Structure 1
Amino acid sequence: MLMWIHPAIQSIAMILAVYVLFMGLQRFRFQHLKVKSAFNWKRHVLLGKVVHGIWLIGCALGLFMAWYAWGSIDLTEGHFLVGVLMVPMILIALVSGLVLEKPKGKRAGLALLHGVCNLLLFCMACYQAWTAVEVIQIFLLP
């Protein structure tokens, strides 16, 4: 039962990430495409921090659970590799978001870096969800 904590937490993060990504796309449309759209800045910032935090905690839990249950952290191959590669991307996205949170003028380049990092992270998380199905079938289901 303990082994299901990692997939459960990451599923919650993925659902929230879809919403945060949608809000970020609304901001991009307004800022760069000049399309009027509603954007809740405070909600985007708060939920973005939550998603990044859950992803980091989920990664640590996934590594711990793999080591605890199987004595190795890299048995899941691509799932492991992409998960580990997500960590520096999460940190870049989180730090850039924290800098953007401070109202100190326009930083279009930083905002673009932030958005690209988060879009890449979302794609990586989609890959993680896809490979998680195989990991669950092989390692968690009897």
Structure 2
Amino acid sequence: MRSISSRLLILPVHSRLSYSEQRRIFDRAPAGTRKVIVATDVAETGITVDDVEYVVDTGAHREERFDAEKGVSCVDVHWASSASIRQRRGRAGRVRPGQAFHLFTRSRQEALLPYPLPEVHRVPLEKTVLDCKV
């Protein structure tokens, strides 16, 4: 948790934070303070914070894909799918009116895949089978 001023409470949330640190995003901000949550994709589908009024969406996400030229799997930044964008938009305004701001053009949004590319099409099948086995 960081406080830039007495009016902003900035809370990161990502998979490497401890449970107790992640839990702080659900606490109400003190009176006169705006809570700002900076989140990775984990907040897209895994977490619902009921007092979110605004969502700012870059339209990007980190995703593992197989690079055929290099012969290895790489985690890179890719455009999210239309379904993911709708999911992110839905995070705003659960309890009170909300709004989503998207940091990409309408033409970019229209060019997005309708749904995420299934993992079986992004990474070698061997890795998926071994992950399931573990």
Q: Which has the higher contact order (CA 8 A, sep 6+)?
A: 1
Q: TM-score normalised to the size of structure 2?
A: 0.25
Q: From the two aligned structures, give the one with the greater strand fraction.
A: 2
Q: TM-score normalised to the size of structure 1?
A: 0.24
Q: From the two aligned structures, give the one with the greater helix fraction.
A: 1
